[in-house]
Structure 1
């Protein structure tokens, strides 16, 4: 049996070498408390056996959905490699130290943007947003930009992982791993 995290690391490493833009881009599917689905692209910012981490404004739609229904699915699709990985499981917030450490690595402009944006809310014009950005820039002009209290990370803890490899004539290969106690049960699916 293969460890799904080792296999993920292998495929992700190849994608980091071959994908021109955002090899860490993943589709994040959520559902609200009524079960209505939503999907958007986010960026993977950390991963390992404990889960797959991304960051967001906790006052935006995606965080509201995940706080109401803390289950999600991720999809990595690397067209040039003809591969995709699907990951499903519960979602939990990362601790403050993890969020602070990642926030400190972001560019200053991205840090300021996290303060200026009312993510997912209506915006009258681009000029309004840029004025807020300039206001925040002046506010923090004399020092570092702290992490906003409404901005943090979420970790999807995998319960199901599927590795899909394109094959000729649609005879694709699908390997699945399902959490089984402290380990993983491996299987295959018909294409």
Structure 2
């Protein structure tokens, strides 16, 4: 399978970094073709400026720095996103990736006469997410109703067409768990991605 992994965490020695590394290693060990984007390492610019926004609906005005991300997204059969959950959502750099890369003509099409947008990433058949939360399970899932998960699975996943399989793995209370618990979750991530 052709898989685009998109990773967003500024610290190379973070727990999230180790999870990302294990995801990539597991996918490659399965024989998948993996294109791995570390948004911080690649110095991805998440900010859409005024000029880009004015040309946002015209593919001919797509900024050149986005082409590698767009080409890979169109090439992929699956996407995997590895990131920490901050303030009940994704880091700004990853939000900016979606704002700028999953643009009209790439992730979706707008009918000329208006109406409902149409998914354009029909090549994507699977979506995976590995995230960590400082908050406990009850706060994220019950009190906040997991807004980050809703954005990815109720919003962005729908741009990939129907019947897209997904895997959403979260480790809650990550700041207060033991090293043994961290390793248990990491092994669980590996097992789940062996069958991805």
Larger % of strand: which? Answer: 1
- TM-score if structure 1 supplies the norm length? 0.27
Q: Which has the larger radius of gyration?
A: 1
- TM-score if structure 2 supplies the norm length? 0.27
